[in-house]
Amino acid sequence: MTYLVNDPADFPAELADGFIAANRRYVRKVFGGAVRATKSRPGKVAMVVGGGTGHHPAFAGWVGQGMADGVVFGNIFSSPSAGQAASVARAANQGGGVIIAFGNYAGDVLHFGQAVETLKAEGINASIAVVTDDIASAPVDELNKRRGICGWVTVFKVTGAACEEGRSMDEVLEVFAKVNYRTRTLGVAFSGCTLPGADGPLFTVPDGKMGVGLGVHGEPGIYDADLGSANDVAQVLVDGLLKDKPDQAGDRVIVLLNGLGSTTYEELFVTYGAVARLLGEAGVTVVDCEVGELTTSMDMGGVSLSLTWADQEIERLWNAPCDTSAVRRGAVEGTEFIDAASLSQTAPALTVTTPGSPQSRTVAAALVLGLESVLEAMRANKDELGRLDAFAGDGDHGVGMVRGAENGLAAARDLAAQGGGAQTVLAGAGALWSERAGGTSGALWGGILAAAAQALGDNDPADVGAQVRAARAGLDAVLRIGGAHPGDKTMIDAFVPAVEALEAQLASGASAAEAWSTAADVAEAAALATAPMRPLVGRARPLAERSIGHPDAGAVSLGVIVRTISDRVGG
């Protein structure tokens, strides 16, 4: 139960503001999150961490010298937007590029992935780095499908120290990959957590049982087992992790024993005593440990155990000086505060910095008309898209696409009226689409528009060749950001053949109208052809069977959008 609540809707923003006010030694507010309060060495690689809130001290507690340079605050258990992440990353950047590091959840992967695209388009070297420590969430041969649940404490500490040492972006990413691979976590839940304003917990665990393989967003555990003593629980966790020991790991570990929110420190110490004894019996040496609340899940009852199989470099970086509100080591150098006056605390206004060329402004005007038509088409198809998404997804695809198109259009109109060229107008539309639409598809459409915008530029006319290149850039972006493959039953299954058709038409000298009309036919047919497929990614995956016989909602909306473009180009 959460007792101290004002308006539940304000809870995430109020907790972020309160954290910042309480930690002036460590952080300063910026739109989307916070950055270090102290000056950093120019040119260092910056690491921004983040994700949903409700996990204290993850993630804000790790901002400070020697660890993270910035944090992005989401809502409780839900991903921040790409715009928020990009804002924090820009403020954290010291000129050496930015790594955005977070746990493996679809919403975070998409939004942070899109933020990286935006940053790169602005000339900032940026990369995502995804933590995958939860051994219960996928088998060992599918490491990249595992969730992140608590091992990020070690992963971020070690990676942050590598940034501080002045290592290059590639070297830092190598360190991240190594320490992430060597970090494994298993947890058990005794009781579920209750979201602020909710009547009851997200899940319950039957009396006398524990959920083994918990998640940190109210996921109950992969299976229930009998709840035994502290020794028994320690045994389950240690046995599970020793079975999942990475290759060539040695026998030295950094240990994290984490309380999920309502497990007492006393219980944690009793359990840690057993963990230490069991590791010793197994011939494993504990290099160092942290016992306490390291990643909570609001008021959930439970513990998780993480082992990072150390090598010399990991040990050195783990022990390097660090000063954050939650992790401190030794003495850090230089504690001069930044000048925070330049940090913007509000959402950036849509402004045109460089006006487009006259030719590109003509393209921009056509794009505004195109987005008007897209909005009209999404409104007309809203209920049908929602119906298709409801078979195995959550039924929000129509609503999301309408909200995305409304906001994209508003941004495009504003920027076109200010004299923006095609790139400025379409990139702005994508940013607001992603920010406001929500859902997986919102992030993906934001990425599509951002990439297409870059292909169009702010100076050139958009002949059929440029249009096809923009469509290809949009497809490449969604493949890269979403990571889906043809046959997974997503919008990709309509998008790939549509772009291939456009490219074939271009090669054979077709006009824009011919090319788009063919692409629309191809996309619509391909969308319908997804009906017999099983969804292999996205929210529909767990209920895949229910989707069979119905076309994928995102593929259908893609077909509608290609048809809309075709109608505009041809008409």
Residues that bind ligand ADP (CB under 6 A): 389, 393-394, 396-397, 400, 439-441, 444, 478, 482-484, 490-492, 537-539, 552-555
284 binds, among Mg ion, ligand ADP, none (CB under 5 to 8 A by kind): none
Are 386 and 397 within 8 A, CB to CB? yes
Give the 3-state secondary structure of residue 464: helix
Strands of the 64-65 sheet, one edge to the other: 64-65, 322-324, 328-329
User: What is the distance between the alpha carbons of residues 76 and 52, in angstroms, rounded to a whole number?
Assistant: 5
Q: Which stretch binds Mg ion (CB under 5 A): 52-60, 248-256, 394-402, 460-468?
A: 394-402
Q: Which stretch binds Mg ion (CB under 5 A): 204-212, 395-403, 415-423, 524-532?
A: 395-403
Are 419 and 406 within 8 A, CB to CB? no
- The alpha helices in 282-357, defined as continuous H runs, are 312-319
- Please identify the residue of the shown chain whose CB is closest to the bound ligand ADP: 554
Residue 56 appears among annotated catalytic residues: no
**Cβ-based nearer residue to Mg ion, 260 or 558:** 558
**What are the structure tokens assigned to 24, written together?**
């002036």
Going by C-alpha positions, the residue among 101, 264, 114, 249 that lies closest to residue 184 is 249
491 binds, among Mg ion, ligand ADP, none (CB under 5 to 8 A by kind): ligand ADP
- Please identify the residue of the shown chain whose CB is closest to the bound Mg ion: 393
468 binds, among ligand ADP, Mg ion, none (CB under 5 to 8 A by kind): none
Examine residue 251 and tell whether it contacts Mg ion (CB under 5 A): no
249 binds, among Mg ion, ligand ADP, none (CB under 5 to 8 A by kind): none
Site residues for Mg ion, 100-159, by CB under 5 A, read none
Examine residue 389 and tell whether it contacts Mg ion (CB under 5 A): yes
Shortest Cβ 399–Mg ion spacing (Å): 9
Shortest Cβ 389–Mg ion spacing (Å): 4
246 binds, among Mg ion, ligand ADP, none (CB under 5 to 8 A by kind): none
Q: What are phi and psi of 462, to 5 degrees?
A: -110, 80
**Cβ-based nearer residue to ligand ADP, 328 or 539:** 539
**Cβ-based nearer residue to ligand ADP, 160 or 393:** 393
**Cβ-based nearer residue to ligand ADP, 239 or 394:** 394
Examine residue 538 and tell whether it contacts Mg ion (CB under 5 A): no
User: What is the distance between the alpha carbons of residues 441 and 153, in angstroms, rounded to a whole number?
Assistant: 30
Catalytic residue among 55, 111, 217, 550: 217
**Cβ-based nearer residue to ligand ADP, 15 or 537:** 537
Shortest Cβ 72–ligand ADP spacing (Å): 19
Shortest Cβ 392–Mg ion spacing (Å): 10
Shortest Cβ 98–ligand ADP spacing (Å): 23
Shortest Cβ 394–ligand ADP spacing (Å): 5
**What are the structure tokens assigned to 123, written together?**
């000339």
Shortest Cβ 386–Mg ion spacing (Å): 8
**Cβ-based nearer residue to ligand ADP, 407 or 490:** 490
Which amino acid appears at position 57 of this protein?
P
CB burial class (10 A; 0-12, 13-18, 19+) of residue 474? buried
**Cβ-based nearer residue to ligand ADP, 220 or 554:** 554
554 binds, among ligand ADP, Mg ion, none (CB under 5 to 8 A by kind): ligand ADP
User: What is the distance between the alpha carbons of residues 521 and 151, in angstroms, rounded to a whole number?
Assistant: 48
Q: What are residue 191's DSSP bridge partners? A: 301
Shortest Cβ 490–Mg ion spacing (Å): 12
Going by C-alpha positions, the residue among 317, 337, 338 that lies closest to residue 329 is 317
80 binds, among ligand ADP, Mg ion, none (CB under 5 to 8 A by kind): none
User: What is the distance between the alpha carbons of residues 88 and 100, in angstroms, rounded to a whole number?
Assistant: 10
Helix axis angle, 553-570 to 358-390, nearest 10° = 150
- What is the DSSP pairing of strand 285-292 with strand 301-309? unpaired
**Cβ-based nearer residue to Mg ion, 46 or 448:** 448
**Cβ-based nearer residue to Mg ion, 67 or 558:** 558
User: What is the distance between the alpha carbons of residues 124 and 100, in angstroms, rounded to a whole number?
Assistant: 12
Examine residue 396 and tell whether it contacts Mg ion (CB under 5 A): yes
Give the 3-state secondary structure of residue 257: strand
DSSP single-letter state for residue 483: -
**Cβ-based nearer residue to ligand ADP, 417 or 543:** 543
User: What is the distance between the alpha carbons of residues 526 and 401, in angstroms, rounded to a whole number?
Assistant: 20
Going by C-alpha positions, the residue among 420, 408, 411, 458 that lies closest to residue 121 is 458
287 binds, among ligand ADP, Mg ion, none (CB under 5 to 8 A by kind): none
User: What is the distance between the alpha carbons of residues 87 and 353, in angstroms, rounded to a whole number?
Assistant: 17
398 binds, among ligand ADP, Mg ion, none (CB under 5 to 8 A by kind): none
User: What is the distance between the alpha carbons of residues 277 and 231, in angstroms, rounded to a whole number?
Assistant: 10
Shortest Cβ 480–ligand ADP spacing (Å): 10
List the one residue from 394, 525, 543, 570 that touches Mg ion (CB under 5 A).
394
DSSP single-letter state for residue 26: T
DSSP single-letter state for residue 327: -
Size of the site for Mg ion (CB under 5 A): 5
User: What is the distance between the alpha carbons of residues 258 and 361, in angstroms, rounded to a whole number?
Assistant: 55
In sequence order, what DSSP letters do the residues of 82-148 get, joined into one string? HHHHHHHHHHH--SS-EEEEEE--HHHHHHHHHHHHHHHHTT--EEEEEE--BTTSS-GGGGGGPPP
Shortest Cβ 321–ligand ADP spacing (Å): 40
Examine residue 552 and tell whether it contacts Mg ion (CB under 5 A): no
List the one residue from 211, 393, 408, 482 that touches Mg ion (CB under 5 A).
393
Q: Which residues contact Mg ion (rule: CB under 5 A)? A: 389, 393-394, 396-397
Residues marked active site are found at 217
